[in-house]
Chain A
Amino acid sequence: MSQPETAKLAPGLKPHLKEPSENLSLALKATLKRDLVLMLRRRGEVLNPLVFFALVITLFPIGISPDPNLLATIAPGLLWVAALLAALLSLDSLFRSDYDDGSLEQLLLAPQPLPALALAKVAVHWLLTGLPLALMAPVLGIMLALPGGSYLVLAISLALGSAILSLIGAIGAALTVGLARGGVLLSLLVLPLYIPVLIFGAGAVQAAIAGDPVTAHLAILGALLAVALMLAPWAIAASLRISING
């Protein structure tokens, strides 16, 4: 309340800074752009989870059976578990390079709220990991003889679900970024929290195969995403501060 009044009291002074909201949107755009550019320059890191996804899916017919009927029944679960593991694999790099070169500290020192900036980083991570995985899954579904009619649901459930995976995973990544060997610990922390997403994601695909309505599953995934969007940024920000100070 007092701020606009003091501004009125000194009409001759021009504000040096723009409005806080405009400042924030500038910072968000800059973070998004910077992360996108950095990730696209390291194509390997973008491609690795996708290659991993395809490789794991290749292993299952070899390990279990090439019988299309058997594969079709387990395909929804296989695709979801493999995509989840691929997303997990990419988490460690989410804050790692920023931590190593010190730009994470600059992010913490920025006047803009850290949860918002962390959310921008997570958004880029989802855009370059979760979304490609979701787009790739139907192709691998063909290879697993996934019954028709479930391909669109598979892609949608993975696109929604992987956003939740990125948000929850970022908490784990932020907690372990300061540790020298955070990788294994990260999966121990994050995998139990992934279980609800797996249940509803794979459940949606199975419902689509059975011909049942899928809206309930997708709605719950959407609800989980809404809750994660609301709460996870704060946890990520708190975890980043812990990791930087320690």
Chain B
Amino acid sequence: MWSFIHKLGSPKWFYRISAKLQPWFWVAAAGLIVVGTVWGLLFAPADYQQGNSFRIIYVHVPAAFLAQSIFVSMAVAGLVFMVWKIKVADMAAAVMAPLGAAMTFVSLFSGAVWGVPTWGTWWMWDARLTSMLILLFLYLGVIALRGAFTSRDSASRAASVLAMVGVINIPIIKYSVDWWYTLHQPATFTITSRPAMPMDMWLPLLMMVLGFYSFFIALTLMRTRNEILRRESNKRWVRELVEEAK
């Protein structure tokens, strides 16, 4: 078990194993997203209250899922890096951050577009919207902090600490924003009280969520491989790899 983890921690070994794993995740992502999109957009029944505008859910919900999961994965990778000094974990954390920020933005933007037909406004200070906006700021903070250091080692450790501090705070922020919302505004709209979905709506959503996760894993593997090549460019095995490619 431990030797497996230490092997996985070696960039060279990770580079080899991820080359084998990567295609499977790309295939899964492409298949699930294509089928989920076609099913969701063309064949799923229209919502009896919201009509066709509800179909934004097929982008909105998977993006929101990813936005939160990526932050947690980033913090876990940061913890692994800080505790066991596994470099690959930090490389993964570094490449995850922009994707997480992008997913947070996508979920906010798709939410705003969805808000126009359902609420009649682009933005509401709803508890969920507000906590997603704060999550976006947390992502931007981690990315900015990593970019601010000249020494890569300090940047990695600082970003890891901040990601861990952030992940401890996310539940507190979420809980307090819920409290704040219920204190200040009467509930004009709640997502949870919507009627349960029929299977025809729910299955494509499940496929989209799984597809987005596969996409996240595939992209993280690919970008971590790039990061390995960039950071280890003076190692012999990378040079040999480049020589072979020539």
Residues of A bordering B, CB below 8 Å = 171, 175-176, 178-179, 182, 185, 188-189, 191-193, 195-196, 199-200, 203, 206, 224, 231, 235, 238-239, 242-243, 245-246
Contact = CB atoms under 8 A, between A and B. Distances in A.
B144 A239 contact: no
A198 B118 CA distance: 30
B183 interface: yes
Nearest to A223: B172
A183 to B, nearest CB: 11
Given A178-B154, A235-B161, A239-B158, A199 B176 contact: yes
B165 interface: yes
B173 A195 contact: yes
User: Is the contact region of chain B dominated by helix, strand, or loop, or is it mixed?
Assistant: helix
B158 A242 contact: yes
Given A199-B179, A200-B176, A189 B162 contact: yes
Interface stretch (B14-22, B54-62, B145-153): B145-153
Interface of B: 82, 134, 137-138, 140-141, 144-145, 148-151, 153-155, 157-158, 161-162, 164-166, 168-169, 172-173, 175-177, 179-180, 183
A105 to B, nearest CB: 15
Chain A interface, DSSP helix/strand/loop, else mixed? helix
22 contacts: A171-B165, A178-B149, A185-B148, A188-B137, A192-B138, A192-B169, A195-B173, A196-B169, A196-B172, A199-B177, A200-B176, A200-B179, A203-B179, A206-B183, A231-B168, A235-B161, A238-B161, A243-B154, A243-B158, A246-B150, A246-B155, A246-B158
A242 B172 CA distance: 26
User: What are the nearest 5 A-B pairs in CB distance?
Assistant: A246-B154, A196-B176, A192-B137, A199-B180, A246-B151
Nearest to B136: A192
A227 to B, nearest CB: 8
A125 to B, nearest CB: 18
Nearest to B138: A192
Given A188-B140, A189-B141, A193-B166, A246 B149 contact: yes
A242 B165 contact: no
